[in-house]
Amino acid sequence: LNYLTLDRSAETLSGGEAQRIRLASQIGAGLVGVMYILDEPSIGLHQRDNERLLNTLTRLRDLGNTVIVVEHDEEAIRAADYIVDIGPGAGVHGGTVVADGTLDDIVAACNSLTGDYLSGRKSIALPTQRTKPKADKQLRLVGATGNNLQHVELEIPLGLFTCITGVSGSGKSTIINETLYPLAATALNKATTLKAAPHEKIEGLQYLDKCVDIDQSPIGRTPRSNPATYTGIFTPVRELFAGTQEARSRGYKPGRFSFNVKGGRCEACQGDGVKKVEMHFLPDIYVTCDLCEGKRYNRETLEIRYKGKNIYEVLEMTIEDAREFFDAIPTISTKLQTLIDVGLSYICLGQSATTLSGGEAQRIKLSRELSKRDTGKTLYILDEPTTGLHFQDIQQLLTVLHRFRDHGNTVVVIEHNLDVIKTADWIVDLGPEGGSGGGQVIATGTPEDIAISEHSHTGRFLAKLLGDDASRSDQVSPGKHRSQSRAGKHAASRDKKQVTSPATTGEKQPAKNRKPPKRAAL
């Protein structure tokens, strides 16, 4: 966190930054015999900074503490003394310990997806060919000076999958989330409340018709919000129930099967299925409604059945079961299929939005975009979409992002995950450092170009990864993919500036490149 200033407002810190500040205070305390539990401390960290974090966690352990980390980062997994892998799938398909032990034990486990990716039995492959940028179709942002940006000129090829990379605090979020997105949303979506960071001008928006920011914020903040309501599936489902003979004879309309309005819902809990109990000076707690027993509807509404199931039973179905149940209804089955395509076959139709993870919420948003009519002129912006995602989830995410690109859309992703970066068509690398030492475009080009850049921290890690991928034969692809040759065989990088950087100094190798030492399990 060396790039942060001491007067930085706490509300402007990311979740990962706030967690690492608390971690630093614990190291300073020098406590012994403490159990530390961290949930994805690597969020928002560049590969170079990740090694520093792992060294910090190792120091905590060496002081005589127990450190438990929930993590998907490969380096963190490889550095652990003991690993517990939960699965085998997600949701109803998970919940069991499929493997535990040392790294070698996990790699040897035949039913562990984590082991498959760590061993190389499965991997995210490189594209067979990268889409080349068109010189006459560029999104060009000139003179960006927000926060630490140093009069940056950003060029994003239209119709491509572009990754914005760089060490933590180098200015990625400033130039994309605080400058590019407000400008695009104001011009294309007619947004009126967004204000862009200082800049001179932007060119190329005439080639686009819409800008969509797909983040990991919740799809709703109440128990009544769920995947069915967010994706628009619930409306045709309610119409099906209202069209049954029994519902027509009773005069029930589609509104009868909504838990957002009076009529068919349980009024004791107002369709939530739970009641909120306010705890003074403590967080509120929720208890199951004692009248409807969590079913959200009154008795009369639940008497109406479609193909043998009432509305509550339908909402309790998983996406994959619902896809089969509504197979003959295209307006429903098509949207359900998009949810399956983004890897959410295991969640329930009526699952409360408050119980969905950030990654699940983001993929629900992606599925809604997939189900819309595609003009091929949309700008999609995603900020670290791999947060909270397993290797397999990243595979499915990349399939969707490449699908957007294949339809002619422009995809811009801020990302540290090398598996995502290596599949991009184009990379813009910021740096060289964080805070006041960053804010410059260090290099642009394909992943192979960045990998041979002398001044890019991202390039150093990409070079090793691209070399490893070239030697693998058993690969899983997000589209039509295969491995490519080493970065050195490709065109020279387009370095923007000559900058002083420790990129070529003798830093330690990433954790995944060396064998973990034998340690006693804690």
Rounded mean pLDDT, 214-234: 92
From 92, 119, 146, the end of a domain falls on 119
Q: What is the pLDDT of residue 283?
A: 85
Looking at the fold, whether 370 and 500 belong to one and the same domain comes out as yes
Residue 514's pLDDT band, with cuts at 50, 70 and 90, is very low
Q: What is the pLDDT of residue 469?
A: 66
Using the predicted structure, report yes or no on whether residue 511 has a pLDDT greater than 50: no
Q: Provide the CATH number for the domain around residue 470.
A: 3.40.50.300
If you average pLDDT over every residue of the chain, what do you get? 88
CA dist., res. 145 & res. 147, Å (int) = 6
Q: Does any domain span residue 272?
A: yes
| Residue 239: Cβ-neighbour burial (10 angstroms; 0-12, 13-18, 19+) | middle
Residue 326 is part of which domain span?
A: 227-355
Residue 471's pLDDT band, with cuts at 50, 70 and 90, is low
Q: Provide the CATH number for the domain around residue 275.
A: 1.20.1580.10
* Helix H or strand E encompassing 411: strand 410-414
Q: Which two tokens stand for residue 315?
A: 């909402």
Looking at the fold, whether 377 and 460 belong to one and the same domain comes out as yes
CA distances (Å), origin 229, targets 321, 349, 368, 417? 18, 9, 11, 32
Q: Does any domain span residue 266?
A: yes
Task: Give the DSSP per-residue string, 283-306.
Answer: --EEEE-TTTTT--B-HHHHT--B
Q: Do the beta carbons of residue 271 and residue 224 sit within 8 Å?
A: yes
Q: What is the pLDDT of residue 194?
A: 92
Q: Which two tokens stand for residue 407?
A: 């339809």
Percent of the chain whose predicted confidence (pLDDT) is above 90: 67
Q: What are phi and psi of 23, to 5 degrees?
A: -65, -40
pTM for the whole structure = 0.84
Rounded mean pLDDT, 79-99: 93
**First and final C-alpha spacing in the chain:** 28
Q: Do the beta carbons of residue 348 and residue 317 sit within 8 Å?
A: yes
Q: Does any domain span residue 126?
A: no
Rounded mean pLDDT, 478-502: 41
CA dist., res. 349 & res. 91, Å (int) = 13
CA dist., res. 104 & res. 119, Å (int) = 9
CA dist., res. 145 & res. 148, Å (int) = 7
Looking at the fold, whether 441 and 363 belong to one and the same domain comes out as yes
Looking at the fold, whether 145 and 282 belong to one and the same domain comes out as no
From 355, 375, 396, the end of a domain falls on 355
Residue 506's pLDDT band, with cuts at 50, 70 and 90, is very low
* Helix H or strand E encompassing 157: strand 152-157
Q: Does any domain span residue 128?
A: no
* Bond prior to 432 in cis (omega within 30° of 0): yes
- 436-447 pLDDT, tens digit each: 899 999 999 999
- Find residue 382's DSSP bridge partners: 413
Q: Does any domain span residue 29?
A: yes
Of residues 355, 275, 130, the one with CA closest to residue 347 = 355
Q: Does any domain span residue 519?
A: no
377: CB partners within 8 A, 6+ apart? 207, 208, 209, 210, 408, 409
- 316-350 pLDDT, tens digit each: 999 999 999 999 999 999 999 999 999 899 999 99
Of residues 433, 425, 405, 427, the one with CA closest to residue 415 = 427
Handedness of CA 445, 450, 453, 458 (dihedral sign): positive
Using the predicted structure, report yes or no on whether residue 144 has a pLDDT greater than 90: yes
Q: Kindly calculate the radius of gyration of the chain based on its CA atoms and give it in whole angstroms.
A: 25
Looking at the fold, whether 351 and 371 belong to one and the same domain comes out as no
Looking at the fold, whether 422 and 322 belong to one and the same domain comes out as no
Using the predicted structure, report yes or no on whether residue 520 has a pLDDT greater than 50: no
From 299, 329, 355, the end of a domain falls on 355
Using the predicted structure, report yes or no on whether residue 113 has a pLDDT greater than 90: yes
Q: What is the pLDDT of residue 417?
A: 95
Q: How many domains does the chain have?
A: 3
Looking at the fold, whether 365 and 349 belong to one and the same domain comes out as no
Using the predicted structure, report yes or no on whether residue 140 has a pLDDT greater than 90: yes
Using the predicted structure, report yes or no on whether residue 501 has a pLDDT greater than 60: no
Looking at the fold, whether 175 and 262 belong to one and the same domain comes out as no
Looking at the fold, whether 376 and 410 belong to one and the same domain comes out as yes
Number of Cβ atoms within 10 Å of the Cβ of 317: 19
Looking at the fold, whether 336 and 367 belong to one and the same domain comes out as no
Q: Does any domain span residue 130?
A: no
Looking at the fold, whether 351 and 365 belong to one and the same domain comes out as no
Q: Does any domain span residue 208?
A: yes
What angle do helix axes 330-341 and 391-406 make, rounded to 10 degrees? 120
Looking at the fold, whether 437 and 351 belong to one and the same domain comes out as no
